[in-house]
Amino acid sequence: MSCGLPKSLFSPLAEQKKIVKKLDALAEKARALATLQSQQAADLKALKQSILHEAFAV
């Protein structure tokens, strides 16, 4: 299948596969970090509520 572009514009297939593998790994790390950040935000919110409850409990 040809899209009308010269082959010289593209990296060799092996290099493209290496790039995709690296990008997939980075995307997975980004997803893991986002999940961790969300959990930490929830934990901090709960901690804040706990501190406020202890500070103002009668």
4-36 pLDDT per residue, tens: 767 678 889 999 999 999 999 999 999 999 999
The backbone region for 28, taken as left when phi is positive above 0, alpha when psi lies in -120 to 50, beta otherwise, is: alpha
pTM over 0.85, yes/no: no
* pLDDT value for 38: 98
Cα(54)–Cα(58) distance, integer angstroms: 9
